[in-house]
Amino acid sequence: MDFLNKQLEEYIEHHSTKENDLLSELNRETWAKVLMPRMLSGHIQGRVLSLLSNLTKPNNIIEIGTYTGYSALCLAEGIKKNGELHTIEINEEHAAIAKKFFEKSKFSKIIKQHIGEAKNIINKIEKKFQLAFIDADKENYSNYFDLLIDKIDINGIIIADNVLWSGKVINDEKDHETQELDNYNKKIDKDPRVENILLSVRDGLMVCRKISD
């Protein structure tokens, strides 16, 4: 769902920092070769992720849902020297494309890829994180939050993508995925351990900052 008209979207694109050549190449390849390319974070959301990462200056980042690697490359822009970005993807084809672009980037040594079910991998990564990005199977967003929250430092940020789900979260009748996203938004809003803001960037970003254990 387009929340803004095309002309306004183009105005935003033209007045935001441009994506670099590698991200532009990844963007084109995803749209040319991968099913459902709209899952790509893309230029504007990518710049939001980069900005939040640069403001946070995380030592370690965890990402649930690599897709073709665009968001990981954006998040890596703000990571501290000697930090690590751990990204989890269940689809081996998507992970292979991401790996190719990670290896082309200056972040090749700090991005650690994990293939498989995120629910089985998160607790095996023995790290504390300052930034997390959730962009995977929508019905498990609440489960991912529960697995992540104790691994996030105070003042760390958890970002969740697609939380407006093309605007369907305000419908009276909701399908299963939409209902789970609505449940996630309500869960975050009521959790005293975080403060949050729901941003209408692209398909919706729920951004929360951990304020207590």
Convert the pLDDT of each residue in 117-130 to its tens digit: 999 999 999 999 99
Asked whether residue 185 is domain-assigned, the answer is yes
DSSP secondary structure code for residue 37 in this structure: G
Q: Is 181 domain-assigned?
A: yes
Burial of 183 from C-beta contacts in 10 A (0-12 / 13-18 / 19+): middle
Any idea what DSSP says for residue 58?
Answer: -
Q: Per the domain annotation, does 1 fall within a domain?
A: no
Angle at 41 between CA 36 and CA 46, to 5 degrees: 165
Q: How many domains does the chain have?
A: 1
Task: Decide: 49 and 23 in contact? Cβ < 8 Å.
Answer: no
pLDDT of res. 2? 63
State the pLDDT at residue 1: 56
Residue 167, domain member (yes or no): yes
Domain range for residue 127?
Answer: 6-210
Task: Look up the CATH number of the domain holding residue 196.
Answer: 3.40.50.150
Hey, what amino acid is at 3? F
* Residue 120 resides in a domain: yes
Question: Is the whole model's pTM more than 0.75, yes or no?
Answer: yes
- Check residue 102 and give its pLDDT: 98
Q: What is the pLDDT of residues 27-71, one digit of tens each?
A: 999 999 887 887 888 999 999 999 999 999 999 999 999 999 999
Scan for tokens 């990518």, then name that residue.
46
| Number of Cβ atoms within 10 Å of the Cβ of 189 | 13
